[in-house]
Amino acid sequence: MSRKFIDCREMKSEMNCTVAISADTEKELLEAAVQHAVSVHKHQDTPELRAMIASGIHDGTPPVAAPRHAA
């Protein structure tokens, strides 16, 4: 089983969040990332938010160096 991760550093934000989250399953990762987006970034838990987060999920583990921001 491969780890999955999502990295807030890939997203432009006023907060410049440096959190990266990883999990063994995409379902577990999506739930943790949605909780982070709602509690820290004050997003609403919507199907659109979940789709955006799901599109940013990668296989493996987060890199140590910050990735480039999304355009």
Q: What are the pLDDT digits (tens) for 9-67? A: 998 778 889 999 999 999 999 999 999 999 999 999 999 999 999 999 999 998 888 77
> What confidence score (pLDDT) does residue 69 get?
58
Single pTM value for the model: 0.85
Q: What is the structure's pLDDT at 71?
A: 45
Q: What is the DSSP letter of 40?
A: T
For residue 56, give the DSSP letter: T
Q: How, if at all, do strands 4-7 and 20-23 pair?
A: antiparallel
- Rounded distance between C-alpha atoms, residue 39 and residue 51, angstroms: 18
Residue 13: half-sphere exposure toward Cβ, Cα within 13 Å: 15
Domain ranges in the chain are 4-59
For residue 38, the model assigns a pLDDT of: 96
